[in-house]
Structure 1
Amino acid sequence: MGSTGRHQPVRVAAASGSVTDLVENLTDLAKNAEVDFIVGDWMSEYNMTIRGSAKVANVGTPDAEPAFEHTFMDALEPAVADLARRGIKLAVNAGSSDTEKLYNTVNDLVKSKGLNLTVAWVEGDEVFDVLQRCKTKGHQFRNITTGQNLDDWPFEPIYAQCYLGSWGITEAFRHGADIVVCGRVADAAPTMAAAAFWHGWGRTSYRELAHSLIAGHFIECSCYVTGGNFTGFKSLPQGISPLLNLPVATINSDGTFFVGLHKTPGRSGQVSVDTCRSQLLYEIQGKRYYNSDIVAIIDQIKLEKSGLDSVYVSNIGFEKPPATTKVGITAKGGFQAEVHYFVVGLDAVEKVKLLERQLRHYLDTDKLTLLKFTTSGGSSPNPNSQDEATLDVRIFAQAPTEEALSPKNFARPCWNIVMMTYPGATFAVDARQGVPKPYLEYFVTTLPLSHVNHVTNLPSMNKSISISPPTDTVPYVFEQEIQEPTDVKPLHAFGPSITAPLGYIVHARSGDKGSDCNVGFYVRHADEYPWLRSLLSVERMKELLQKDYNGKRIERFELPNIHAVHFLLKDHLDRGVASSSTYDVLGKNVAEYLRAKHVQIPEAFLARGKI
C-alpha cells in the first residue's frame, strides 16, 4: 500500500459521523473491516463554536483542557494496534481547535505502544488573525445565510475557523503518514484525500474529485447512509442488535463509486437506493455542492442498485473550485435561560395566551433581546391519560447580561405568576434551566483561500509542506437558481385522491448549515415523481410551512434521476445551532413536520402501501 496511480478501487470506511457517535466503531473497523482507509468526522458547527470559545477563554491557562475532541482518543486507543497490524491508514477531523495538541497526544499513544506509525497533522483552519487583517484592509464579509455584512453584526468576533480541503491530507499520505489528524477540514475531505492519494489524482482531476466529494458526503455521517435518520426505518432488516452497520465507499479510478456495508455480526441496517437518496439530500444547499477543491453538480446524479447492500453512484458533474472557502466566526452572544409550564385539557390556546400576556407585562422585557413562548405537544380529544392531555409551554429568553436573566429577574417572576394565571397552572420544578448560561453567536461567510496558510506537518520527518490554493477558479454563488416546475400536470390528472399525510408515500430529509435549513423529498416509484414535482412548488412549500414560513428566500431544484425535489429555506433556523431559540436547532425535524402535513394523494399511490 502507498503507491499512486492504482487501477483497483480504494476502500474507505467511516468510523464516526459526529462527536457523539459510538466510540467502539473504530475498533471494530480496525480489527475486521476489509478496507484500505478509515475516516472519521468528529466536528460540527456547534463544537466549532464551543471548542473555539473555550480555547480563547483558556489562553494563558497552562492546565486548561485542550480544545480537541477527547472522544476520538477513547476510540483510537483500543484500535491503534490493529491499524498498525493491518496497514490501514486513518484520517480524521477531531483536532477541533487544538490540532497540534491532538497530534502530540496521538503520537505519545503510538510511542507508548511501540508501534511503527507516522502521525501527521494539518493546520491552517484557525484564521482569526487573517480575519482581523482582512477587516483592517477593508475586506467585506457577507453572511452566506442572511446576507448581512460582518460590519453590521452586533457582536464582537472572538474566534474564526475555515474549512480546509483535502490536499493537506493527501500530501501527508504521499509522504508516508499513517494517521492524519485535522481540525476543520470539510467533512468529505478525508475520503477525497484517500482516493486522490490512492489513484494518483491531481488538482485538475475535476470529474474524479467531484465524485469522491460525494462519496465522502455519503459516508461522512457513518450510519446515516445505512438506515440512521431514515424515514423508511420501519422497513429496515433487523439483526440481533438494533445497532446499525457502518458504511464503506469503494471508489474507482474514474471517481465513480459503490456505497456498501461493513457487516458487524448481529448488527442491522442496509444500504439501498432509498438510504442513499436520504443521505444525499442531507445538508446540501442546492445543485452545487461546494468544497474548496471542487464543486460537485448533483442534479443529474444516478444511483443504481448493484447487489445486496450495494449502490453504484455516477453521473456527477463539476465546476472548478471557488477562490474562497467557508469560514465560521464565533462571538459571545450573551446569556439565555428558560422556564417551562404545563397546560392540561380544555381551552389550551386561551390558557397559553393568558400566561404569555401576564408574563410579558410582569417581566422587565426591556433588558431582554429575546422572549419567546413555544408550545409543544397537545391535548388529544377524549384523552386516555393525563399525559396525553398535557401541553408543554417553553418560556425562552436571551439577554446581553447575566444579571438580566438572574433568578430574581427571570425565573422567579415566571414562577411567581402561578397563583394568578390559568386553571391547573404548574411549572417544571427542576430549576436548572432557569439559571442563565452563556451562549454563542455564529456568523458564516467566505474567506479568500489565498489568505489561508494551509500546511501539512510531519514532525517525525522534520517536514512541513505548504498547500497552495487553487489558481483556476470560478466565483462562489451566494444564491443558487430557483428551479420552478415546468410542464407539470394539474393534480387532478393523477386520478382520484385522498387527503392524507404527505409522508405516507414521500420520504424526506432535512438538516442545517448555519441558519439555513435544507429539506429534500423523494418518492419510491418513478410514476409518482411527476406528481411530486407538480405538487411541490415554492409557493406550495410556503403553504406547507404555514406559521413557520419566515418570509425569506426559498430555493428549489430537481434531481430527476433519483425522483427528488429539494428546497433550501434561507435563514430558517434562528441564527443556527449555537444560539437558536427553537427545539429543532439542527433542522432535522423540518422534514418530519412537513411529512405530517395533509395533502391530496392519488388513491393509486396509496394502494401500494405506506412508507
Structure 2
Amino acid sequence: MPAVQRAIRIAGASGGFSDRQRAIGDLAKNCDIDMIIGDWLSECTMTLHGAQKAENEKLKAEGNLLEEPEGMFDPTFMENLMPALPVLRPKGIRIAVNAGASDTELLAKMVQDEINKVGLDLKVGWVSGDEVTETVRRLYQNGEEFISLMNGKPLKEWGHEMLCAQCYMGGAGIAEAFRQGSDIVICGRVADAAPTIGASMWWHGWDREVDLDQIAGSLICGHLIECSSYVVGGYYSGFKALMDGCENLGFPIAEVAADGSCVITKEKNTGGEVSVGTVSSQLLYEIQGPLYYGSDVTANLEGIVMTQLDKDRVQVTGVKGLPAPSTTKVGLTAFGGYQAEFHYYLCGLDLEEKAEWTERQIRKSMGDKGKELTCLKFSLNGYCQENPRNQDVATVDFRIFAQTKNKALMDKFTIDVPGFNRWCLENFLQSCPGATLGNDQRQSQGKPFWEYYVTLLPQSEVQHEVVLPWKGEKLEIPVQNNVRKEYPRDQESYETRDPVALSTFGPTTRGPLGWVVGGRSGDKASDANVGFYVRHHDEWDWLRSAMTIEKFKQLLDGSDKGKKVERFEIPGIRAVHFLVRDHLDRGFNSTSEYDTLGKNLCEYIRAKHVDIPNKFLRRGRF
C-alpha cells in the first residue's frame, strides 16, 4: 500500500474471452497504472467450462483422461498475459483476473511456471471456493429448495440433473492475496466487479465491516470497467459520432479514490470516448434493480451522479453502500439435450403466407416424431422493402429451431438419415415460390446444449480461501459480520412519483424513440434488462413521465411474452430502467432466440415510434 493515499489507477483489460488479446501487454507497457483487471467468464463460458470439468472427471474415473485436461479455463489467457510479464515489477503493476474458470489452481500453476521459466521475480496467488457442487447437493438432499432467481420456482421443478455448481465470490480474497505479497491473483468465478473491489480494498485499506460506501463505490466502478471497451464507446447509442477511430476504441482506466468515488478515463491514442453518455450506458448494462448485490457490499444506484470533468474524464459519485446479503448467487449446469436449426430463405411478396406454407409442410413431415421435440420454433425474420433496391434486401430468413433429448433425431445432417434435416429438406421441391436453401447444412446437425439454473447459496457455506503457493499457506476469508440476513427476490418497482403531463411539452413528431433516447440492454440468465437515458433535464421529465411499464410493454409489441416487468429510476443520469423477467427463454446456452444475450432488446425498443416533442428534435438526434 502506498504511503500517500492517492487514487489507485485500474485498467480494464478484458470483458470476456472474445476481447482483443493485445490489452494486458499494451496497458502494462504504455499506461501509467497500478493494476490490471480482466473478466474472462460469463454464464455462457462457465456453463461450458463446468460441463467440460464434469466430463473430465468422468474420463478420469474411467482411466481415459488426457494428461493435460482441456476446456477447464480460458485457453487464450496465457497469450494475453505473457507480453506484460517483464514490465510488471519495474512499473509496480499488479494483476487480478477471473480467468481460472473451473480449474483456477492449474492456471495459477501455469502462470507461475511461465514466470519461473523467464527468470522473473513475481508471485502468483489464487482464490478458491467457487466450486460448490457437493455443497449444493448436500443442502438439496437436506431439504433446501433452491428457488430460481428468474422464475421463482424450486429446483425440483427444473427437470434436469445438475452436473456442477459454481458460486460468485467477492473481492475480499483478492485484497488479502495482495496484502500477502501476490503480484498476480488468479480467480475462478468471482463476481465481474470483484477484481476492482479487491484491488481497491487492498490499496486503501478499507474494512468490510464499516467502509460500506467506499466499497460500494468500487463495486460500481468495477461494473463500469469489467466489460472493457463498453464504457469507452462499445455498444453506445451515440456511436455515429465515434466513427473516426472506431477500429480501436481503446480500454478504460479507472481512478478509484479513498472515498470510493472514481474517475473513468481511457487508454491514450485510441478512438472511442469517455463521456457521461458512454458511462451511463455501461452502468445500465445487466443491472437488476436499484440495488446491486455483491458478496462484499450492496450498492444503491438511485443516487449516482456522473460529471464530465474534461475530455475523456467522467467522475462517478453518489453511490451508497448497504450490508451485503447473507447469500450469494450460484449457477447450476446440466445437460439439456441436442439442438439444431434449418434455414429457408424466402423472397419477395406474401412472406407470411410463404412461411405458413413451409411450416405446414415440415410439420407434416415430422408427424408424431415431432412430439419428441422439447422445443420447436418457426420464425420469419426480416421483411421485403417496398420496391426493393436489390434482391438481397428482398430476401428474409425463415428459421426452424428444434431441441430434443433424443439424439437420434438430430444425429446427422446427411440426406439419407430420417430426422430433423430430412424433415426440412424433403419439402424443398414442394416449396412456395421464392424459397431457397443455404449451401451449408451443418447447423441442422444436432449439437449438445446446456441448461443453466441461477439460485442463491448462503455465504456461510462457501469455503472462500486464498492460496499462497510460495508460502505454502492457505488463508480463510470469513464472511463479514454485518451481512443482511435477507433481501427480497423482487426489488422495489415503481412508476415516476411526480409525472409531468405530456401535453406540456408542446407539438410532437412521430418517430423512433432512439432519435432522442439512448440506452443499453443485457441479460442475467433468462432475465433481460434495458435502461434508457436522455441528455437534457426537460427530456428527463418527458422520459420518466412517458416511459411507464404499460408504455414499455406496448413498445415490446409482438415481442411481449407477458412476463413481469419491473421499473425504477436513476435521476442523476436521467435514466429509467426496466427488468423483463424470464424474457430470454432459459438463457444464452439454451435459448431459441436470435438475441441470445438480450443485447439487442434496447435497439429494438429505440426503433419503435413514439410522439417526440419537436423542441427535443431541434437539438439533434443520437
Q: Same fold (TM over 0.5)?
A: yes
- 1:357 aligns with 360
- TM-score w.r.t. the length of structure 2 is 0.96
- 2:620 aligns with 609
CA distance in 2 between partners of 1:470 and 1:448 (Å) = 13
- 1:528 aligns with 539
Describe the superposition over 1:33-63 as per-residue Cα deviations: whole angstroms up to 9, x where unpaired.
Answer: 1011110010000000000001111121133
| The one of 228, 234, 259 aligned to 1:228 | 234
| The one of 476, 486, 492 aligned to 2:487 | 476
What is the Cα deviation at residue 6 of structure 1?
Answer: 4.5
Describe the superposition over 1:229-268 as per-residue Cα deviations: whole angstroms up to 9, x where unpaired.
Answer: 10101112734x72112111101111111111121x3x21
3-state SS of 2:217 partner = helix
- 1:410 aligns with 420
Mapping of residues 170-569 of structure 1, within 5 Å: 170-204=175-209, 205-236=211-242, 238-239=244-245, 242-263=247-268, 265=269, 267-363=270-366, 364-406=369-411, 407=413, 408-474=418-484, 475-569=486-580
What is the Cα deviation at residue 547 of structure 1?
Answer: 1.6
| The one of 103, 110, 116 aligned to 1:105 | 110
CA, structure 1 residues 114+570, in 2 after alignment: closer, same or farther (shift >3 Å)?
same
- 2:156 aligns with 151
CA distance in 2 between partners of 1:345 and 1:129 (Å) = 56
- 1:167 aligns with 172
CA distance in 1 between partners of 2:585 and 2:481 (Å) = 36
CA distance in 1 between partners of 2:497 and 2:260 (Å) = 32
Letter of the 1:473 counterpart: V
Describe the superposition over 1:79-104 as per-residue Cα deviations: whole angstroms up to 9, x where unpaired.
Answer: 11111321200000000001011011
CA distance in 1 between partners of 2:428 and 2:587 (Å) = 32
3-state SS of 1:473 partner = coil
Superposition CA RMSD, Å = 1.1
3-state SS of 1:107 partner = helix
- Contact 1:6 1:198 (C-alpha < 8 Å) held by counterparts: no
CA distance in 2 between partners of 1:19 and 1:353 (Å) = 40
- 1:30 aligns with 28
| The one of 70, 95, 98 aligned to 1:93 | 98
CA distance in 2 between partners of 1:403 and 1:253 (Å) = 60
Letter of the 1:223 counterpart: S
CA distance in 2 between partners of 1:47 and 1:199 (Å) = 32
- 1:55 aligns with 53
- TM-score w.r.t. the length of structure 1 is 0.98
CA, structure 1 residues 489+33, in 2 after alignment: closer, same or farther (shift >3 Å)?
same
3-state SS of 1:445 partner = strand
CA distance in 2 between partners of 1:502 and 1:66 (Å) = 43
Q: Percent identity?
A: 47
What is the Cα deviation at residue 66 of structure 1?
Answer: 4.9
CA distance in 2 between partners of 1:358 and 1:413 (Å) = 9
What is the Cα deviation at residue 151 of structure 1?
Answer: 1.0
- Contact 1:6 1:253 (C-alpha < 8 Å) held by counterparts: no
CA distance in 2 between partners of 1:389 and 1:201 (Å) = 60
CA distance in 2 between partners of 1:314 and 1:429 (Å) = 54
CA distance in 1 between partners of 2:272 and 2:437 (Å) = 41
CA distance in 2 between partners of 1:271 and 1:489 (Å) = 32
Letter of the 2:93 counterpart: I
Describe the superposition over 1:85-133 as per-residue Cα deviations: whole angstroms up to 9, x where unpaired.
Answer: 2120000000000101101100101000100001001110011010011
- 2:76 aligns with 71
Stretches of structure 1 lacking an aligned partner (at least 5 in a row): none
CA distance in 2 between partners of 1:492 and 1:101 (Å) = 63
CA distance in 2 between partners of 1:540 and 1:318 (Å) = 32
What is the Cα deviation at residue 549 of structure 1?
Answer: 1.1
Stretches of structure 2 lacking an aligned partner (at least 5 in a row): none
What is the Cα deviation at residue 425 of structure 1?
Answer: 2.1
Runs (4+) of structure 1 exceeding 4 A deviation are: none
